[in-house]
Structure 1
Amino acid sequence: MKPILLLPVLSLVFLLACGSSTQKNPETSQPHSPTIHTLCDDGAWCWFSDPRAIYTDADKIVTGWVKKDGSIEMASLNPETGDAKFNNIYPQFEFDDHDNPAFTQLPDGTIFTMYAWHATDKGVLSNTTTNGTDISSFGENEIFKPKTEELLKNFPRETYTYANPFVLSEEDNKLFVFGRWIGFKPNLIISEDQGKTWSRQYVVMSDVPFTPNNRPYVKYYSDGKSRIHMIFTDGHPRVESTNSVYYCYYEKGAFWKSDGTKICDLSGLPFQVSDATVVYKADEENGRAWICDVVEQEGTPYILYTRHPQETDHRYHYVWYNAEAKTWEDHEICQAGKWFPQTPEGETEREPHYMGNMTFNPNKPNEIYLSREINGVFEIEKRTTNDGGKSWKIEAITQNSPLDNVRPFIPRYQPKDAKTVVMWMENNKYIHYTDYDCSIKYIVEP
């Protein structure tokens, strides 16, 4: 399946390269000037617990974040009116942006959320509304440790971080949740009763022989029907000097490469990362990679990831799978600058691979929103390609900002009649994932 190719419009300017991310680029950005709204003035999120925001219908979005005091706060937003409701479901949980909640809507219309402490053995927490999409009806937080004696024997490390929940309608509405749990590896648990109990638990991928410190990072995407798409790395780019990118998908009780070759059934888990399809094989010259987003449309997976030839030189890449040629079409989008954490003077940056980040419009994978460094500040841009990523039209979302704007995200499961909402973090301060002062901003596209 080839990517979406829209008819060219003469008034649009397409760029073959965006040039240096630190240079002024006014002649390449089209005027956009959307109205920027503040959803909350105290909240932050990571990008490995997703979906961190979902549409529940055409006029309601449910999302959540971690406040400065560590509280887990939910929000329900009507983007048409700007009306928002809030619910602090766990006061002073933990001051760490990795703990943000992820969401899915269950078949009965209620909202399921799951989140976890960061790298502890305390477990993961789930909560479900009792009254449809009314976030004030979240009940008691339930703690669950997705482990078995056999899993701990084979993968002897117990630590819980992240949650990624999905319902697959074509698998009898089973609830699938992925996270980094037993063995410090990607795990999967499955519920057949909408999260009340968990019938199956797996370590999805692991190195062989097992080592307790290796940790592949994974991004997931599903349209809620039959497939869950996964992109992942060898490990953390701070640890893996040649951190590569891989792809596979889950469907009908098995994991598959991009060309449809079976990797293994659920009963054959775990597989090794190298058993999946290689998207980008990292080397010293082109740099280690990290991952931003993955979506799928009409059978074609699309991927956003970064290369880091140097820690101060982050490069954004757009990739899609050419099923006819059985190859990945990979195009550099632009230079994105360096990391966004504000490194204290005289100290070494602890997270030099924290890029501004990118997200897809899932309904239009030729549209992306990214954060890159311009004149020393991270700004949000909308970019559109009509030729599979070879060239881009650029529209500025934020300009001449006093504060960094990072980690954009478009809520998943957007109805056809709903307007596109783009959300992101604005950083009054971001020293570390345990030392921040951020707000959540958003725009509503016309």
Structure 2
Amino acid sequence: MAKRRVTRRDVLRLGLGAAALPAAARLQGCSSHALTWRYGSGEDLVVGRGGWCWFQSPRAAIAADGRLYVGSSVGTSPATSSGAAQVSEIDLDHLRVASHRTLGRASVDDHTAPSVLAVDDGVQVGWTPHNGTDWVELGTYRGPLHRVVDPDSLVDPGVGTSYVSAHVVAGRRWVLYRGKDLFMELMSSSDGRSWVQHGVTIQKAPSSLDHRPYLLAASDGQRLHLVVSDGNPSDFPGCSVSYATIDPDLNVCDDAGRPVGQVGTAPPNPTQLTRLR
């Protein structure tokens, strides 16, 4: 029987027991057991390894009040907060955690780490539980959350929503999330309350079989920059990585600024982007 490679997902779901395997030393960095962060004296914040994924961004932001806000999934720990999708407010002047807010609770799962976006004079937060739901919850750190529903996220092969990431592009709030066909979709808003859904950003290549693209995104204020993998690097090691941008009119462009597709109506696949590796 061929040896099965242990993935990040195995460790998150099985906890420390999954580390009792030949790959244990390599997997320690992905253990779902909690890390304790200490600021000054005393225990302030507990976050499990696997509290974030590399393609989630941003998960921390300094707001207009000068405080740092961090969104994370809480890993397995003696604390009752295990599985919480939590945002923490950190007072940088005194190096202490000023408050926490739990947006919701699910299994220990890095898919649920909340997005955090410093915008205007507040902090927008968002999350989804990754348990077969068809919604994303968005709101402010100190205010109510509102659900944006996407029924297409549950149409096979979709399994619901996950991986919420928020940005500001050309004065509008953009939110990426995994939805239809397990691809990253985009919605936008001018005020954080009323949202317009635009559809799939990048689709998989026709010949990619079970591969699907994973996106890491960052805004320069006028465009959204993307690093796109051909597949999940944990499941398909050695997959290629490409680069693209999305401009305010939803054109997807290569590194030279040439349009190669359109969000929603004609999403490109990774082979049409600028190949980095």
Of 236, 247, 260, the match for 1:263: 260
2-side partners of 1:117 and 1:91: how far apart?
7
Q: Which has the higher strand share?
A: 1
Instruction: Tell me the equivalent position of 1:86.
Output: 99
Instruction: Tell me the equivalent position of 1:187.
Output: 185
**2:90/2:96 contact within 8 Å kept:** yes
Of 105, 123, 135, the match for 1:123: 135
Instruction: Tell me the equivalent position of 2:46.
Output: 41
1:243 aligns with 2:239: yes
Instruction: Tell me the equivalent position of 1:176.
Output: 174
Deviation (angstroms), 1:264: 2.3
**1:74/1:89 contact within 8 Å kept:** yes
SS in 2 for 1:221: strand
Instruction: Tell me the equivalent position of 1:160.
Output: 161
Q: Which has the higher helix share?
A: 2
Of 48, 63, 76, the match for 1:56: 63
Of 126, 138, 152, the match for 2:143: 138
Instruction: Tell me the equivalent position of 2:113.
Output: 100
Q: Which amino acid aligns with 2:252?
A: F
**2:117/2:167 contact within 8 Å kept:** yes
**1:49/1:101 contact within 8 Å kept:** no
Change (3 A) 1:270 1:240: same
1-side partners of 2:164 and 2:229: how far apart?
17
Percent of aligned positions that are identical: 18
For these two proteins, the number of residue pairs brought into alignment is 230
1-side partners of 2:172 and 2:258: how far apart?
24
Change (3 A) 1:62 1:216: same
**1:127/1:138 contact within 8 Å kept:** yes
TM-score of the aligned structures, taking structure 2 as reference length: 0.72
Select the structure with the greater relative contact order (CA < 8 A; seq sep ≥ 6): 1
2-side partners of 1:78 and 1:56: how far apart?
11
1-side partners of 2:130 and 2:96: how far apart?
32
Deviation (angstroms), 1:59: 3.0
Instruction: Tell me the equivalent position of 2:13.
Output: none
Q: Which amino acid aligns with 2:211?
A: N
* C-alpha distance after superposition, 1:280-331 (max 9, x if no partner): 0xxxxxxxxxxxxxxxxxxxxxxxxxxxxxxxxxxxxxxxxxxxxxxxxxxx
Change (3 A) 1:114 1:203: same
Instruction: Tell me the C-alpha RMSD between the 2 structures.
Output: 2.9
* C-alpha distance after superposition, 1:391-410 (max 9, x if no partner): xxxxxxxxxxxxxxxxxxxx
**1:99/1:116 contact within 8 Å kept:** yes
Change (3 A) 1:113 1:212: farther
Q: After the TM superposition, which residues 4-403 of structure 1 pair with which residues of structure 2 at under 5 Å, given as runs?
A: 37=39, 39-44=44-49, 45-47=51-53, 48-57=55-64, 59-67=66-74, 68=76, 69-90=82-103, 92-107=105-120, 109-118=121-130, 120-129=132-141, 137-139=142-144, 141-147=145-151, 157-168=158-169, 171=170, 173-192=171-190, 194-209=191-206, 213-223=210-220, 225-240=221-236, 242-253=238-249, 254-266=251-263, 268-280=265-277
**2:201/2:264 contact within 8 Å kept:** no
Out of 159-168 and 36-45, give the one that drifted further: 36-45
Change (3 A) 1:88 1:238: closer
Deviation (angstroms), 1:201: 2.5
SS in 1 for 2:111: helix
1-side partners of 2:136 and 2:239: how far apart?
28
SS in 2 for 1:183: helix
**2:233/2:239 contact within 8 Å kept:** yes
2-side partners of 1:54 and 1:221: how far apart?
13
SS in 1 for 2:222: coil
**2:164/2:177 contact within 8 Å kept:** yes
Larger-Rg structure: 1
1-side partners of 2:101 and 2:95: how far apart?
19
SS in 2 for 1:159: coil
Deviation (angstroms), 1:213: 4.3
SS in 2 for 1:127: strand
* C-alpha distance after superposition, 1:54-99 (max 9, x if no partner): 0114731111222242122221112221132222333543322321
